[in-house]
Structure 1
Amino acid sequence: MPLRGPVDLHTHSSVSDGTETPAELVAAAAAAGLGGVALTDHDSTAGWAEATEAARQADVDLIPGMELSTRTGWASVHLLGYLFDPADPGILAETERIRTDRRTRAETMVRRIGHDYELDWDDVLAQTTPDATVGRPHIADALIARGHVRDRGEAFSTILHWRAGYYEPHYAPEPLEGVRLVVAAGGVPVLAHPGVSTDRIVPEDYLRRLVDAGLFGLEVRHRDNSEAGKRRLLELAAKYDLAITGSSDYHGTGKHNRLGENTTDPEVVERLVATATGWAPIVRTP
Structure 2
Amino acid sequence: MRYSYHMHSCHSDGTDTPEQLINLAKIYGIDAVALTDHDTVDGVEAFMTAAAGTNIETIPGVEISSRIGQKHVHNLGYGIDIKNIALLELLDALTAEATKYTKYTFEKYIAHKYGYSWEQVLNHNRKRKGFYLSDVFSAMLKDGLFNGWEQYAGFVDYCFKFVKQKYSAPVEKSFDVIKKSGGNVFLAHPKLMKLSLDEELNIFKQMKDLGLDGIEAYYPEHSPKECNWYELCCEKLDLKVSGGTDWHGRARLKEETNYFYTIFKKRFGVSLSQYKIEKNKT
Instruction: State the TM-score, normalizing by the size of structure 1.
Output: 0.82
SS in structure 2 of the partner of residue 267 of structure 1: helix
* Percent of matched pairs sharing the same residue: 24
Which amino acid in structure 2 is aligned with residue 92 of structure 1?
L
The one of 43, 50, 54 aligned to 1:54? 50
Alignment of 1:147-158 (within 5 A): 147=145, 151-158=151-158
Structure 1 moving runs of 4+ over 6 Å: none
Aligned to 2:252: 255
| Distance apart, 1:100 and its partner CA | 0.8
Larger CA deviation: 17-26 vs 72-81: 72-81
The one of 246, 259, 275 aligned to 1:268? 275
| Distance apart, 1:61 and its partner CA | 1.4
| Distance apart, 1:23 and its partner CA | 1.1
The one of 119, 137, 153 aligned to 1:122? 119
Larger CA deviation: 16-25 vs 50-59: 50-59
Tell me if structure 2 keeps the 8 A contact 1:83–1:276: no
The separation in 1 between residues aligned to 2:232 and 2:140, in whole angstroms, is: 41
| Distance apart, 1:92 and its partner CA | 1.3
Tell me if structure 2 keeps the 8 A contact 1:11–1:41: yes
Instruction: Give the RMSD, CA atoms, in angstroms.
Output: 2.6
Indicate how the Cα distance of structure 1 residues 14 and 129 shifts in structure 2: closer, same or farther if over 3 A, else same: farther
SS in structure 2 of the partner of residue 115 of structure 1: helix
Unaligned runs of 5+ in 1: 278-286
The one of 86, 93, 97 aligned to 1:97? 93
Which amino acid in structure 2 is aligned with residue 57 of structure 1?
G
Aligned to 2:27: 31
Tell me if structure 1 keeps the 8 A contact 2:60–2:82: no
Alignment of 1:83-232 (within 5 A): 83-112=79-108, 113-126=110-123, 128=125, 130-131=127-128, 133-145=130-142, 146-147=144-145, 151-158=151-158, 160-161=159-160, 163=161, 165=162, 167=163, 169-196=165-192, 198-199=194-195, 203-225=200-222, 229-232=226-229
Larger CA deviation: 11-20 vs 143-152: 143-152
Tell me if structure 1 keeps the 8 A contact 2:186–2:215: yes
Paired residue total: 267
The separation in 1 between residues aligned to 2:76 and 2:204, in whole angstroms, is: 15
Larger CA deviation: 225-234 vs 47-56: 225-234
What do residues 130-174 of structure 1 show as CA deviations (whole Å, max 9, x unaligned)? 24532122233345455358522111222x12x3x3x26442112
| Distance apart, 1:197 and its partner CA | 6.2
Indicate how the Cα distance of structure 1 residues 122 and 188 shifts in structure 2: closer, same or farther if over 3 A, else same: same
What do residues 105-133 of structure 1 show as CA deviations (whole Å, max 9, x unaligned)? 11111111213332222343355472453
The separation in 2 between residues aligned to 1:229 and 1:198, in whole angstroms, is: 12
Structure with the higher fraction of residues in helix conformation: 2
| Distance apart, 1:63 and its partner CA | 1.0
SS in structure 2 of the partner of residue 114 of structure 1: helix
Aligned to 1:281: none
What do residues 84-110 of structure 1 show as CA deviations (whole Å, max 9, x unaligned)? 112222211111110011111111111
SS in structure 2 of the partner of residue 272 of structure 1: coil
Aligned to 2:17: 21
SS in structure 1 of the partner of residue 65 of structure 2: strand
The separation in 2 between residues aligned to 1:98 and 1:231, in whole angstroms, is: 33
Indicate how the Cα distance of structure 1 residues 8 and 169 shifts in structure 2: closer, same or farther if over 3 A, else same: closer
The separation in 1 between residues aligned to 2:75 and 2:119, in whole angstroms, is: 30
The separation in 1 between residues aligned to 2:220 and 2:58, in whole angstroms, is: 22
| Distance apart, 1:47 and its partner CA | 0.8
Which amino acid in structure 2 is aligned with residue 152 of structure 1?
Y
Which amino acid in structure 1 is aligned with residue 233 of structure 2?
L
